[in-house]
Amino acid sequence: MLLSQVETPSYIIDEGKLIKNLKVLERVQQEAGCKILLAQKAFSNFCVYPLIGQYLAGTTASGLYEARLGKEEMGKENHVFAPAYKEADMDELVKLCDHIIFNSVAQLMKYKDKCLKAGVSIGLRVNPECSTQGDHAIYDPCSKGSRLGVTLSNLQQAIENNPDVLKGVDGLHFHTLCEQNSDDLETTIEVVKEKFGQYLNKMSWINMGGGHHISREDYDVNRLIRIIKDVKETYDVDVYLEPGEAIALNAGYLMTEVLDIVDNEIKTLILDTSAACHMPDVLEMPYRPPLMNSYEWDKKPYKYRLSSYTCLAGDIIGDYSFNREIKVGDRLVFEDMAIYSMVKNNTFNGIPLPSIYLQKQDGDCQLIKKFGYEDFKNRLS
């Protein structure tokens, strides 16, 4: 089926663009000698896990369900990090995961023996307290009072109370970036070395988290490779990265249709999609998603506000302008819709979930999944 023939609303994963990203990541792995994991929180479309598994070392999870999905559908290295684990989940996780990362010394001490008995490699997430992102405070794990990762002073205190705290711990993990370039990683690494280098000397691996926008056009891949090689040599450790966005960046679309046009000083297009339901990051972050064949608000003669058919007044996707008049029945295509979209969507207002298609490299769009009333009803009681 051609892209122009898929029903709306639909997400379309672009296999060719996915492969393009994976090739960049493969180069990093080969030239830096590191391992890259898919952070499933950004993209969990397991129909392409066999493809992703051809390039990457494995998966990382935010909890039990993602860990199970990674094991079932990719079956390579399987890591997990969560701010805390429930006991029942840990019983399962030690069977599913080869690496388990803890967020606090208390969690580490609670589950250390269980992990060691199961032969799981243990990691501890540290907080370098080095903020490098200005715009998005809710995505900054280094903000003041952050619950994410053990600070140096808390770690020192814990070791003072119990010198065996790090016994059995194989790796350190940090995650501080969000859509950032390797200059910010370089800044962070300097702080990590200064604060945690003494502990890293005794570890066998370090995980530098996600947020590395490696597949973005302007990303300095050579600098990333240099940083990784330096850390590997200095501390004699294996290096992991676990990006989510970089894997499927710009590798998906959301196809929608114009249902109505409301003219109240501003022309608003009512679409059969929703920021709140189908692209929640647009409201959460917030940001204005790229839209094919559209321009900034004041650039072209035909100006529209793009909105949704939910009841939420603020369910507004953004203001755009076009070369041509938009009519009811026209189809519009949002870009960069593979990441943090399908994993976060919902059926608020009983709005249907978009179908999922995979566009093969020859342009053919294959239906992966269609959703219906039962998917809405089954989440409720």
Measured from the Cβ of residue 88, the count of other Cβ atoms closer than 10 Å reads 9
Among 53, 123, 149, 243, binds ligand PLP (CB under 6 A): 243
Among 18, 22, 42, 248, binds ligand PLP (CB under 6 A): 42
CB of 273 to ligand PLP, least distance (A): 22
Only segment of 46-54, 115-123, 236-244, 292-300 that touches ligand PLP (CB under 6 A): 236-244
Element (H, E) at 55: helix 49-55
Q: Are the CB atoms for 331 and 255 separated by under 8 Å?
A: yes
* CA–CA separation, 32 and 84 (whole Å): 32
User: Does residue 252 belong to the site contacting ligand PLP (CB under 6 A)?
Assistant: no
Only segment of 39-47, 111-119, 270-278, 330-338 that touches ligand PLP (CB under 6 A): 39-47
Q: Which is nearer to ligand PLP, 96 or 208 (CB)?
A: 208
Reference 366, options 53, 47, 70, 69; nearest CA is 47
* CA–CA separation, 106 and 158 (whole Å): 9
Question: In angstroms, how far apart are the furthest CA atoms of the chain?
Answer: 70
Among 244, 252, 280, 354, binds ligand PLP (CB under 6 A): 244
Reference 121, options 151, 77, 163, 85; nearest CA is 77
Q: Which is nearer to ligand PLP, 178 or 326 (CB)?
A: 178
**Residues pairing with 207 in the sheet:** 173, 240
Measured from the Cβ of residue 371, the count of other Cβ atoms closer than 10 Å reads 14
User: Does residue 63 belong to the site contacting ligand PLP (CB under 6 A)?
Assistant: no
Q: Which is nearer to ligand PLP, 245 or 336 (CB)?
A: 245
Q: Are the CB atoms for 361 and 19 separated by under 8 Å?
A: yes
Token look-up 């976060």 returns: 344
Q: Which is nearer to ligand PLP, 126 or 155 (CB)?
A: 126
User: Mask 168-207, x = binds ligand PLP (CB under 6 A)?
Assistant: -------x--x-----------------------------
Q: Which is nearer to ligand PLP, 219 or 322 (CB)?
A: 219
Binding site for ligand PLP (CB under 6 A): 39, 41-42, 81, 175, 178, 209-211, 242-246
